[in-house]
Amino acid sequence: MRQLPHPDAKDIQLTEVLRVLGDPVRLELVVKLADGSELSCSSAGDDLDIHKSTLSHHYRALREAGVTRTRLNGRERMLSLRRDDLDARFPGLIDSILTAAHPT
């Protein structure tokens, strides 16, 4: 089965992570994945009023920056946040971003 390319954890760059998370749509997708869940690409973008091809662009940007992992499951693509890799590489970054995105 063909797998999608993902950067190794050691190759994830802070500037790329911050660049992709600077987009409100991508940030909202990460917020949805922050609880550790794995969502299909179709369900992750369900409540966003965005064209499917635009969502695909956002999913690719997140994957290529090392923020998410995309797993092929038959005809579906499943998304998950690379929380462990990001926390190991940049401790506290994701928590800070999530807190700033949705302050309580």
What local confidence, expressed as pLDDT, does residue 1 receive? Answer: 52
Any idea what DSSP says for residue 92? T
Q: Is this structure's pTM higher than 0.85?
A: yes
Share of the chain above pLDDT 70, in %: 96
Q: Which among 17, 41, 19 has a CA at the least distance from the CA of 29?
A: 41
Q: How far apart are CA 66 and CA 77, in angstroms?
A: 16
If DSSP codes are grouped into helix, strand and coil, which group holds residue 51?
A: coil
Share of the chain above pLDDT 90, in %: 77
Q: Which among 71, 9, 79 has a CA at the least distance from the CA of 42?
A: 79
Residue 102 above 90 pLDDT? Answer: no
What local confidence, expressed as pLDDT, does residue 2 receive? Answer: 66
pLDDT digits (tens, 9 = 90+) for 16-65: 999 999 999 999 999 999 999 999 998 988 888 889 899 999 999 999 99
What local confidence, expressed as pLDDT, does residue 104 receive? Answer: 61
